[in-house]
Amino acid sequence: MRTARPAILAVVAIGTSLVAPGPLPAHALISADVLTPSVATPPADGTFRAGPALAPACAGVTIRTTDDAAQVVDDWPAGTTFCFTSGVHRIGETIHPKANQVLASSQGAVLTGSIRLTKWTASNGDWLTTGALPPAYPLTGQCEDNKANICYLGEQVFYDGKHLTRVATRDKVAPGTFYADYAANAIYLGDSPAGHAVEMSKTPTAIEPGGNNVTVRGLTVEHFATPPQGGAVVLGLGWRVYANEIRWNHAVGAMLINADSAVLEKNEIHDNGQLGVGQYSTLKGTISANDISDNNTDGFWIADWESGGVKTTWSSGGWVTGNLIQDNRGVGLWSDAYDDSRTFSNNQIVDNAADGIRYEIGRNGVIEDNSISGNGYGTGRGSGTSLWDGGGININTSSNVQVRDNVVANNVNGITIQSRTRGSGPWGTNVLRDIVVSGNKVTMLRGTTATGMVQNSGAAIPAGEVTLDDNTYILDSLAAERFQQTGQWYTAQQWRSTGQDTASAFTIGRAILDATGALTILPAVS
């Protein structure tokens, strides 16, 4: 159970409204009621409920901490329910459940992919152990530090359960860090291991398909040495994975692959090395009511390589809805590469380092009723503040996308629409077409924050293909240039003259952030 920081608790912006030439439309008048968000909010006590505490009691074949879980599951027929006892279950081999089997616990079972490291010797101020590492393997993935390039290495080290930071060379070892020398099969530790539990992630995957319609519930899954783009828990066709905690795995916490109609819900998915949730080649998958927070602990590229909260690709239909996606070091929620007919709705997307939502090279998308705040302020390789760098919502070279009824506040930019030269794919040339942005409440109060469109020289946006209207904008000043169209900046009045947002409302206000991160917009001080 996690304390949520909702993007908007209250929005009150009773200030100066922009009057367009001619009569002011009735819906351009601002009131507190108009600006009250309609998105889902956490319970009154400020908590977001997910994880093993929500799992029901388990009755079935017992798996004890001393058992070989993979072998026990393999020994029983399809349809069997397995109940893991409390305590730490060391998973040396991936579990492949058969059709309709249930892997469950109501006793606090922890499935770990780590091994104990117990034989240490002092070595020039550090501590050394040998023989635990696999042979060296090649680079995959892209790291934030693209010179050291160590994010792809899967063997994490934990000191009394605390995740240690990997360093690239022996001379960088210090307290809180470790160095793995694969050629010498040696691990160097910067803290004394005496009297402490030191473990290293070893097994690549906890659970992956052996059959369809499997249920996984009530488990904590941690310390798996998942390769980049690989999941500690991999869902298959018709799977339901709910009320689990999936944490501190090297790459992706939960991954849907060819997982048609699978459901991932009410899980705590946090502190994984690359990404909280991934989805690939799945029809009508559902990712719902999960707490997906603090992912990308191992230094994958924040701005532009599958790091952060959720990323889906090559999937059709289905929903990402009702999730808390918070404090991830990357994009909060990212649809990329030939997603079709995806719906992102009613999510709270807060304080992620890159875009809140990015919809890229897709079509027929719906982004609605989300609350999106504080995203895009990460720094590092490829980060920035222009419309090319994204914002609260970023639509990139996609077609037939509806962006409606979202609350977008205090992000590096508001709603950004990008037309890029992105080659061709299964639908022909990738182009930006038929984008409609309506009914949103967008707050832009500081820095270079803007809403608008940018385009490459080879990807001009034809007239009429992007429509913004019936939105509400809360600005620091009506004279501020908070809108942009292909390189030209505009005030609110000038923006209307381009034909965009002609029936939208503009007002000025000031932002107050309380101790919980909640944003309130007050009338501007005259």
- SS3 of 19-83: CCCCCCCHHHCCCCCCCCCCCCCCCCCCEECCCHHHCCCCCCEEECCCCCHHHHHHHCCCCCEEE
Residue 64 vs residues 44, 69, 80, 201, 370: alpha-carbon distances, Å: 39, 8, 16, 21, 42
DSSP element (H, E) containing 496: helix 492-497
Closest CA to 278 of 353, 202, 349, 334: 334
Query: What is the reported pLDDT for 46?
Result: 58
Determine phi and psi for 171, rounding to 5 degrees.
-70, -10
CA 438 to CA 172: how far, in whole Å? 52
One-letter identity of residue 404: R
CA 237 to CA 239: how far, in whole Å? 6
One-letter identity of residue 280: Y
Tokens of 502: 């002609």
Q: Which residue has the tokens 């832009």?
A: 444
Query: 127 has which bridge partners?
Result: 122, 189
Query: What is the reported pLDDT for 516?
Result: 53
Query: What is the reported pLDDT for 139?
Result: 84
Per the document, the length of the chain is 526
CA 151 to CA 137: how far, in whole Å? 13
Determine phi and psi for 73, rounding to 5 degrees.
-65, -40
CA angle 359, 396, 367 (to 5 degrees): 35
Closest CA to 495 of 34, 88, 20, 24: 20
* Contact call for residues 149 and 125 (beta carbons, < 8 A): no
* Contact call for residues 316 and 295 (beta carbons, < 8 A): no
Query: What is the reported pLDDT for 37?
Result: 27
Tokens of 465: 């293909």
Query: What is the reported pLDDT for 38?
Result: 28
DSSP structure class, residue 172: G
* Contact call for residues 279 and 252 (beta carbons, < 8 A): no
Domain range summary for the chain, segments of one domain joined by +: 61-110, 115-201, 215-523
Q: Which fold has domain 215-523?
A: Pectate Lyase C-like (2.160.20)
Determine phi and psi for 157, rounding to 5 degrees.
-120, 135
Query: What is the reported pLDDT for 42?
Result: 46
What's the distance, CA 151 to chain centroid?
A: 18
CA 32 to CA 211: how far, in whole Å? 53
Query: How big is the chain by its Cα radius of gyration, in Å?
Result: 24
Query: What is the reported pLDDT for 347?
Result: 97
Query: What is the reported pLDDT for 47?
Result: 72
Q: Say if pTM beats, i.e. exceeds, 0.85.
A: yes
CA 508 to CA 16: how far, in whole Å? 6
Tens place of pLDDT for every residue, the chain, 526 residues?
555 554 443 333 334 455 443 333 333 333 222 232 223 344 545 578 999 999 999 999 999 999 999 999 999 999 999 999 999 999 999 999 999 999 999 999 999 999 999 999 999 999 999 999 999 998 889 999 999 999 999 999 999 999 999 999 999 999 999 999 999 999 999 999 999 999 999 999 999 999 999 999 999 999 999 999 999 999 999 999 999 999 999 999 999 999 999 999 999 999 999 999 999 999 999 999 999 999 999 999 999 999 999 999 999 999 999 999 999 999 999 999 999 999 999 999 999 999 999 999 999 999 999 999 999 999 999 999 999 998 999 999 999 999 999 999 999 999 999 999 999 999 999 999 999 999 999 999 988 999 999 999 999 999 999 999 999 999 999 999 999 998 899 999 999 999 999 999 999 986 555 555 455 656 554 3
CA 461 to CA 421: how far, in whole Å? 11
Which strands sit side by side in the sheet containing 308-313, from one edge to the other? Answer: 231-235, 252-257, 275-280, 308-313, 331-336, 357-360, 393-396, 415-419, 451-455, 483-485, 488-490
Closest CA to 215 of 60, 49, 50: 60
How crowded is the C-beta side of 375, counted as CA atoms within 13 Å?
A: 39
CA 315 to CA 288: how far, in whole Å? 16
* Contact call for residues 476 and 13 (beta carbons, < 8 A): no
